[in-house]
Amino acid sequence: MTALSTWLRESPSLWAFPFVLILHTVGLAFLVGANVALDARVLGLAADVPPTTLRRYDVIMWAGFWVNALSGVLLLIAYPTKALTNPLFYGKLLLIALGLVLAQALRRQLRDAGPMSPLARRMAIASLVIWAAGITAGRLLAYTYSRLTVDLVG
């Protein structure tokens, strides 16, 4: 684990830390993107798309999620102290959990006939807000950490 951590952090190879960052970014785009598309449809955009057919993209959303769970663990292994000492990191994890629970609940509300329920619309708005907040929390991790590594405290 320590060897992996050191390699991820110190290897000059673009296949070490930079590649993990790329995975985490592309995974984010598909995870959040698939949710944005469904939320937008629930809120009335692309009204000719039967809402339940958008669930064919659920596999893309989950692929994005698992790529990010894995790449996120690797980023954590590379800089464990940096994330674990930042309260914002736990806020980000909480937002992701909320976003996923809401994504599941909203998908159960989908009906192809008739207008969307007010509950489904509120869930779609909440989903957009939560993913935007999750992204913001994630970006701010690069600016709000107090300790990069244990050794460098001071």
Partner 1 sequence: MTLDSVLQAIEPVLRTTALGAWVRHSQWAWPILESLHFIGMSLLIGTIGLFDLRLLGFARGIPYGALHRLIPLGIAGYTLNIATGFCFLSGTPDQYLFNAAFRFKMTFMLVAGLNVVFFYTRVFRRLEALPPDSAPPFGARVAGAVSLAMWIGVMSAGRLLTFFRPPYA
Query: Residues interacting with partner 1, by CB under 8 A?
Result: 14, 18, 21-22, 25-26, 28-30, 32-37, 40-41, 45-50, 53-54, 56-57, 60, 131-132, 135-136, 138-140, 142-143
The least distance separating partner 1 from the CB of residue 34, rounded to whole angstroms, comes to: 6
- Shortest distance, CB of residue 29 to partner 1, whole angstroms? 4
- Closest approach, Cβ 33 to partner 1, in A, equals 3
The residue among 7 and 57 lying less far from partner 1, judged by its C-beta, is: 57
CB of 109 to partner 1, least distance (A): 19
CA-based Rg of the chain, rounded to a whole angstrom?
A: 18
Cβ proximity to partner 1: between 29 and 150 the closer is 29
